[in-house]
Amino acid sequence: DAIEQFGFGNWEDMAAHVGASRTPQEVMEHYVSMYIHGNLGKACIPDTIPNRVTDHTCPSGGPLSPSLTTPLPPLDISVAEQQQLGYMPLRDDYEIEYDQDAETLISGLSVNYDDDDVEIELKRAHVDMYVRKLRERQRRKNIARDYNLVPAFLGKDKKEKEKALKRKITKEEKELRLKLRPLYQFMSCKEFDDLFENMHKEKMLRAKIRELQRYRRNGITKMEESAEYEAARHKREKRKENKNLAGSKRGKEDGKDGEFAAIENLPGFELLSDREKVLCTSLNLSPARYVTVKTIIIKDHLQKRQGIPSKSRLPSYLDKVLKKRILNFLTESGWISRDAS
């Protein structure tokens, strides 16, 4: 009578109905032992219950798998950071989610008894579209959680990364990681880190192989001999470096004398500036000829500025290339204006 009146599981009210001398635990144990596992239960409850409700979802990760939208454990962040992100920890949701308007696909749907087949299929299509959007939303949350993107946004993961890394990451590897960021959505964080660890191992192994091949080419067949070889090679490179350094110092000391050796003994050399000496050397033009051309060009330029008509009387040895180079030089040096050149 108490079961029918108060419902199965409401043991407190049942104990009060039976009598104050019985506790809820005693009432439950008595009912289970006498009515379910006792003779009455064996006679009334069959071993196999027909018409059992079948679970049509796919727990193995199929299209309707509950695991696709199962909430993750809440983020361990402070209340201020939750407000900054618009994060609701009990629901593991954000105020603004990916594809915020996804719910509009099904918010207006209703099942009516007079729906025809086309309308039913259309509503099913809407539900399928909504489920796909939910799966994509959850997939993005999983990626953000796996790669610690929320702590990275809040600036919390720098110290943790430094502790976790066993080796120093080079600049080239950082650039490569940035280029391969699209792979985040296809690989877990551990797989992504393992990829770069394996690439680093491959690089080290290739370098070691090249080193061993170099030893072999130089007749070294034992690792004990390599230390002596490396010491001798280091000494050779040091001597070569010192020799090059001494040569560059000597070159700096007599640099100017050797630079203008081709024209320094020609007449007019002392009239040229350092830049003009470089120009004459590059054009293979004697200082006297350069001074002549320079004088004619400047004189013609001054006459034109005064409005006096003048006919250019440039020497015959001055071709178009030489003329253009000299005009550009005089313009850059401020001897003549850019319009005249």
pLDDT of residue 178: 86
Region of poorest pLDDT, from 5-9, 70-74, 78-82, 335-339 = 70-74
The highest-confidence range among 11-25, 233-247, 248-262, by mean pLDDT, is 11-25
Tell me the sheet residues that pair with 93.
Answer: 88
pLDDT of residue 252: 52
Region of poorest pLDDT, from 133-147, 210-224, 246-260 = 246-260
d(CA 17, CA 230): 96
Contacts of 88 (CB under 8 A, 6+ apart): 82, 94, 95
Q: Is the pLDDT confidence value at 209 over 90?
A: yes
**Residue corresponding to tokens 């199962």:** 70
Domain 269-333, what architecture?
Answer: Orthogonal Bundle (1.10)
d(CA 99, CA 96): 9
Does the model's pTM come out above 0.75? no
Region of poorest pLDDT, from 95-104, 217-226, 239-248, 284-293 = 239-248
Closest residue by Cα to residue 196 from 174, 217, 228, 220: 174
pLDDT of residue 118: 92
Domain locations in the chain as residue ranges: 1-44, 70-156, 169-218, 220-249, 269-333
Q: How much is the average pLDDT of 11-27?
A: 86
Number of other CB atoms surrounding residue 16 within 10 Å: 14
Q: How much is the average pLDDT of 215-239?
A: 85
Q: How much of the chain exceeds pLDDT 90, in percent? A: 6
Measuring CA to CA, how many Å separate 18 from each of 1, 3, 6, 35, 198?
9, 11, 12, 16, 72
Count the alpha carbons within 13 Å of 105 in the hemisphere toward its beta carbon: 18
Local confidence band at 210 (pLDDT 50, 70, 90 cut-offs): very high
Local confidence band at 324 (pLDDT 50, 70, 90 cut-offs): confident
3-state secondary structure of 94: strand
Q: How much is the average pLDDT of 329-336?
A: 83
pLDDT of residue 256: 47
Kindly tell me the burial class for residue 7, based on how many C-beta atoms sit within 10 Å of its own C-beta (0-12, 13-18, 19 or more).
exposed
Q: Is the dihedral of CA 315, 319, 323, 325 positive or negative?
A: negative
pLDDT of residue 62: 53
**Residue corresponding to tokens 């091949």:** 213
Long-range CB contacts for residues 19-28, cutoff 8 Å, separation at least 24: 27/2
Number of other CB atoms surrounding residue 128 within 10 Å: 13
Model pLDDT for residues 155-208, shown as the tens digit of each residue? 776 656 555 556 678 888 888 888 888 888 888 888 888 888 898 899 999 999
Number of other CB atoms surrounding residue 298 within 10 Å: 14
pLDDT of residue 71: 63
Model pLDDT for residues 269-290, shown as the tens digit of each residue? 888 888 888 888 888 888 888 8
CA 2 to chain centre: 67
Residue that wins the pLDDT comparison between 24 and 312: 24
CA 153 to chain centre: 14
Contacts of 96 (CB under 8 A, 6+ apart): 86
